[in-house]
Amino acid sequence: MSKQEKQDKLRVYEYAKSLNMSSKEIITILKRLNIPVNNHMSVMENDTVGRVEQFFKDIKSNAAAKRENSGRNDSPAKSPAPASAGGSQTPKASSGEPSGHRGDHGRQVQSSTNAPVKNQNQQEKQVSMNNKPKTNQNNTNGSTAVQERSSRPTGGNHQNSRPQGQGGGNSSGANRSPQGNRGPGQGGQPRNDGGQRQGQGQGGGGNRGPQQQNRSFTPSNNNNGGGNSGGQRQGQGQGQGQGQRRGNNNNNNNGGRNQRGFDDNRNGANFRNNRGGKGGRGRGPQQPPREKIDNTPKKIIVRGTMTVGETAKLLHKDASEVIKKLILLGVMATINQELDIDTILLLAGDFGVEVEVKIPVEDDRFETMEEVDDEADLKDRPPVVTIMGHVDHGKTTLLDAIRSTNVTGGEAGGITQHIGAYQVEINNKKITFLDTPGHEAFTAMRARGAQLTDITIIVVAADDGVMPQTVEAVNHAKAAGLPIIVAVNKIDKPDANPDKVKQELTEYELVPEEWGGDTIFVNVSAKQKLGLEGLLEMILLVAEVNEYKANPDKRARGAVIEAELDKSRGPVARVLVQHGTLKVGDAFVAGNCFGRVRAMVNDRGRRLKEAGPSTPVEITGLNEVPQAGDPFMVFEDERKARSIADKRAITQRQSDLGSNTRVTLDDLFRHIKEGEIKDLNVIIKADVQGSVEALKGALEKIEVEGVRVKIIHSGAGAITESDIILAAASNAIVIGFNVRPDNQTKATAEQEKVDIRLHRVIYNAIEEIEQAMKGMLDPVYKETVIGHAEVRNTFKISKVGTIAGCMVTSGKITRSAEMRLVRDGIVVYEGKIDSLKRFKDDAKEVAQGYECGITLDNYNDLKEGDVIEAFIMETVEPK
Ligand SMILES: Nc1nc2c(ncn2[C@@H]2O[C@H](COP(=O)(O)OP(=O)(O)OP(=O)(O)O)[C@@H](O)[C@H]2O)c(=O)[nH]1
């Protein structure tokens, strides 16, 4: 299959997304349908999709039939069993064929549990009509427990004989009592009769068909019928009594007592059985069942994960019913198991219940909270624009020019305030500009989780053309998935060549519209204020296409653009309101700080009472100074805001101390397996462009199911801090080929926990990535840099070669260590130290702050200013 074909195929995660389900759920369903599947990236053939859809249809028709039946309240035997994945396993059990092997037990149990066979549903319905929901879970568990514990052959036979069908029933009552042949509806009642109507109880057990018969062997049924009979009426109770003793001693005890005793060691679901028992007592076996009252709620409110039991309660369903539904959805769960919101949504949908997800506001991770607004509440908001580009290409000049020429209508004459952003107005529409230019600031914000920008403008000087930071800026914008407008600046200059800029940018997939691409290019002169209007109009055009909207009628949310401690006003934060409207007096949290908006000013120095979406404002009233990029949100009162800020501070401290959340090659496979990663984002830096291209081409060709390599940035030159920030913001790893990060960059990488992999052989780099993607990375050895020495002098001595007079600038240099020679961030040689001397003596090691003489094995081209990096290879415990 070609790569293109592969890309065209529908993958599990895409399919899951289209259904608003998780990949896990689809995988489970595929497995249940015996369709081979590896992970969320597995390709789904048409046939597979068809089968999954059939599976859903079956579930739906099953549910519909069930609803219909429960509406009609008629006898259980009417509806046919629907075909379903579960159903496909049922025929054996329902056919009544003997299956007297112990090896079949699992299947029998499964049949009884899985089969969405009508009998079972109807049985449930009947039970619920009598207000006596039975407990499938217990039944199933009970049955399994018996199988596990029972070792006597009689027990085995006894049990095996049951699932065979109607009369196959068992020794426990189906053949003994006339009532034993009653329909399951009646069978339900006797169970509740407890100690008083044993005969009926057993009869019911005997009649339930395969599933029920399995159940009849469970503690629950034993207690209800057989257990009691065991205690009181030998003739009838014997069969079950035996089974009970073999299966579960507790049940024997209970059997001897009464149902209340049963309560003592069963859960709430059984308790309902007891209550049902009381209700059933007076009616007698022939009494027609009362009409079931369907009290399923129309809508439920979900505030987070819930256990199966809690979900069942909320849905007004019996836990067993919910568990059964979950099994049909491919989720094996017990009553105490937590269900995530997706599963709850699915489940509720199956019961025809609408769900409103309301994550409590107390949630201290409020930045991750998604608020879904009604389409009708959304209003257009100004786009937020960031300007990026190479040094000196005119970013600041352009920002100033736009600001001074396009003053917001009535606010002309106001005193310009620097609040990190400003608004201009054109054609009665506003545009917000973030006025810290540059992609580093932009990506640093993004790394902190703030997604402020809607549109990026890449400024390229027409006389200078595309430069390294232009490319960086383009890649940063692309990594953020933002639309790009290119402002070709300085067109007033005589040597301006806008076409050259266009030509150069096509290499980075920015093709002008007139050349058949979709990138907008605007020629401007920031200095002479030419073309500015055109640029603003283009911004509005992009905004119109992308329909940036927000709901202004709710509490405000946004992010801190910058903040500082003002001598007279205390902590001051400049924030961009992104959703809702911020008002004076609002209590809020910003990062780990909190406060109440005391005063609010806009970029013209005007005091505001309220600020709507996309408005930048400066606020006072904080307890401390937050950080740029911190999320901001309004809460109902200051006390709540304080408690959330406190919680956030604690969480941050813990995460600072805690684990690395960024992807590293060592744990890449785990992330892939868990479905967290579909693209391995990579930044490539190499000594020359040729190596960059070679590495890029080779990495992009790696095909491992489950993950793709995505190169988000590449370039020739040393690894810089900007690369690390981009990696941190995009969860990428950095591959350095023949290049090294400088110390500051290394420190940033450590702090941001960005994985840097350095190589000198392309094949090794590719192999390392491929192995990591396949989970085969052998993490046995890890390089540890032990020190650096700077070459201060060189001496050429014949027969010896070049001796480098060095100063150890960090750590230590040891004689046995391996080394690499770094010149301007580029590795020029890697090998071993030949000799290490202090004055004239050989030294084993030389520590930081001392001078030494070093010769390298087989390398003499040492130069002043070179850095010798010493490292050792250490074993690492496999994770
Ligand atoms: N001729 C001409 N010069 C311009 C134009 N725009 C900016 N310049 C000049 O280019 C130089 C750099 O402009 P800046 O706005 O500081 O560039 P920058 O991209 O913000 O630079 P950094 O902040 O250093 O990244 C200044 O001397 C400006 O006067 C223009 O349209 N035409």
The residue among 528, 490, 544 whose CA lies nearest residue 405 is: 528
Spatial neighbors of 143 by CB under 8 A, at least 6 apart, are 108, 109, 112, 159, 214, 215, 217, 218
Residue 391 near ligand 1, beta carbon < 6 Å? yes
CA distance 306 to 20: 19
Please report, in angstroms and rounded to a whole number, the separation of the first and last CA atoms in the chain: 35
Alpha-carbon distance of 370 to 358, in angstroms, equals: 10
Establish whether 305 is an annotated binding residue.
no
pLDDT for 875: 65
Ligand 1 centroid distance, CA of 391 (Å): 8
Pocket test for ligand 1, best of 386, 390, 396, 722 (most atoms within 8 A of CB): 396
Pocket test for ligand 1, best of 386, 392, 470 (most atoms within 8 A of CB): 392
Question: Which 8-state DSSP code applies to residue 525?
Answer: B
Q: Is 620 annotated as contributing to ligand binding?
A: no
What is the atom index within ligand 1 of the atom nearest the CA of 438?
25
Single-letter code of the amino acid located at 754: V
- Residue 797 pairs in a beta bridge with 801
Question: How close is the Cα of 398 to the center of ligand 1, in Å?
Answer: 8
Instruction: Write down the pLDDT at residue 290.
Output: 56
224: which residues sit within 8 A by CB, 6+ positions away? 190, 191, 192, 193, 194, 201, 259, 273, 277
- CA 697 to CA 689: how far, in whole Å? 12
The values of phi and psi at residue 299, to 5°, are: -145, 140
Secondary structure, 3-state, 118-135: HHHHHHHHHHHHCCCCCC
Q: Is the CB of 439 under 6 A from ligand 1?
A: no
pLDDT at 865: 93
Scan for tokens 């005091």, then name that residue.
607
CB of 395 closer than 6 angstroms to any ligand 1 atom = yes
What pLDDT does residue 253 have? 38
Q: Is 566 helix (H, G, I), strand (E, B) or coil?
A: strand
Q: Are 408 and 430 in contact (CB under 8 A)?
A: yes
Q: Is 629 in the pocket of ligand 1 (CB under 6 A)?
A: no
State the pLDDT at residue 362.
Answer: 52
* Ligand 1 neighbour 470 (Cβ under 6 A): no
ipTM over 0.85: yes
Contact 502, 512 (CB under 8 A): yes
Residue identifier of the C-alpha nearest atom 12 of ligand 1:
392
Mean pLDDT, consecutive 10-residue stretches, the chain (879 aa), reads: 54 80 81 80 83 82 70 42 36 34 33 34 33 35 32 34 35 36 36 36 36 34 36 37 37 37 36 37 48 76 85 88 84 83 86 79 67 86 94 92 69 67 90 83 74 93 92 89 95 94 93 90 94 94 93 92 87 94 94 92 91 95 88 90 86 60 68 70 87 86 78 87 85 88 88 87 84 66 86 86 92 90 90 88 90 90 93 67
CA torsion through residues 618, 620, 621, 623, sign: positive
Alpha carbon distances (Å) from 529 to 100, 429, 526, 534, 645 = 91, 20, 5, 11, 45
Q: Which residues of 648-660 are buried (b: 16+ CB within 10 A; e: fewer)?
A: bbeeeeeeeeeee
Report residue 321: phi and psi, to 5°.
-65, -40
